[in-house]
Amino acid sequence: MRAILAREMDGRRVSGWVWRQRLAVRGALEDAGFGTEARNQNQPRGSRQRSGPLGDQPFPGLLPKNLSREELVDALRAAVVDRKGPLVTLNKPQGLPVTGKPGELTLLSVLPELSQSLGLGERELQVVRASGKESSGLVLLSSCPQTTSRLQKFFIHARRAQRPTATYCAVTNGIPATSEGKIQTALKLEHIDGVNLSVPVKTPSRKDILEGVKKTLSHFRVLATSSGCALVQLQPLTVFSSQLQVHMVLQLCPVLGDHTYSARVGTVLGQRFLLPSESTKSKTQRPEALSRVLGHMPGPWEG
């Protein structure tokens, strides 16, 4: 989902689009006792002029295939957007997993080399907050274990208090019926065709909750619309695998580029409806949905 499901801190132009959302990193740092008045302090000279495998774009977009370990480190260093004391913020490209199997190229696997590349010496970076493999957006890293622990506790407390700690943007195939609202449903992981997929549960029992069913909640707001598509702001207040993708499917407006869950939305005589999750196989979204948006970029969005 290149720039389709994106998490950001400041407005950054992506392929002619202006994402106006916040990751809430800056507010979180201030609430947790870290000032942000000295943005970009202690940044190595010339680091903002570096260009890597992702090019000179301020937003890295899609991770190229067959990237070497050295090229990934260079790309991540070029994607650094903010440094303050022990904290480093970078734009993670879509397609880069945070964790993975031994030997797999992941964000965690290259943190030692990235730390050296940024001149941190023995102070190895740790992940404070990061979006999943299929999302692009900001990653917050820290070279201080105490700072990492402090911020992670802050995010945990904020989530328990149902305060949004991350804001995403998604382009959807379809326009939600209401301009803003909340999506609340229970989800469970179910093994379907050899893959663990998130499946809604209509009326979860206490036994279901004990067995792994989780009540999930997201806020959404339509920012703009064009040609049957919408630019939607999403704020998850809970954490579950593919929560935002499934929530938008329940609105009959799958995220553009979601080839896993979008097949659950069927159409008959122009009317959309939900198909049973258990019997719907994943499939590539129809190209007309993609071309409808690409043909209008940067597009006359109606906000």
Q: Does 24 reside within a domain? A: no
Q: What pLDDT is stored for residue 163 in this prediction? A: 86
The separation between the first and the last C-alpha atoms of the chain, rounded to the nearest angstrom, is: 23
pLDDT tens for the chain, residues 1 to 303: 333 455 543 333 332 233 333 334 444 455 555 443 333 344 444 444 344 444 444 444 567 778 899 999 999 999 999 999 999 999 998 889 999 888 889 999 999 999 999 999 889 999 999 888 877 888 999 999 999 999 999 988 888 888 888 888 999 999 999 999 999 999 999 988 888 899 999 989 988 888 899 999 999 999 999 989 999 999 999 989 899 999 999 999 999 888 889 989 988 888 898 888 877 777 776 655 555 555 544 445 555
Number of domains comprising the chain: 2
What Å distances lie between residue 224 and 25, 167, 301, CA to CA? 24, 16, 6
Question: Coil, strand or helix: which one is 294?
Answer: helix
**DSSP annotation string for 141-164:** EES-HHHHHHHHHHHHHHHHTT--
**Same domain, yes or no: 97 and 188:** no
Q: Is the peptide bond before 298 cis (omega within 30 degrees of 0)?
A: yes
Q: Does 148 reside within a domain? A: yes
Q: Does 226 reside within a domain? A: yes
What Å distances lie between residue 228 and 1, 202, 244, 289, 302, CA to CA? 18, 28, 20, 9, 11
**Same domain, yes or no: 101 and 186:** no
Q: Does 106 reside within a domain? A: yes
- CA dist 293 and 228 (Å) reads 9
Domain enclosing residue 118, as ranges: 69-161
**Same domain, yes or no: 128 and 182:** no
- What pTM did the predictor assign? 0.69
Q: What pLDDT is stored for residue 82 in this prediction? A: 94
214's tokens:
């989780």
The answer for 103, left when phi > 0, alpha when psi is -120 to 50, beta otherwise, is left
Q: What pLDDT is stored for residue 136 in this prediction? A: 82
Q: What pLDDT is stored for residue 180 in this prediction? A: 96
Q: Look at residues 97, 131, 161 and tell me which one is the last residue of a structural domain.
A: 161
Q: What pLDDT is stored for residue 107 in this prediction? A: 95
Q: Does 202 reside within a domain? A: yes
**Same domain, yes or no: 182 and 133:** no
Q: Does 256 reside within a domain? A: yes
Q: What pLDDT is stored for residue 49 in this prediction? A: 39
Q: Does 95 reside within a domain? A: yes
Query: How many residues are there in the chain?
Result: 303
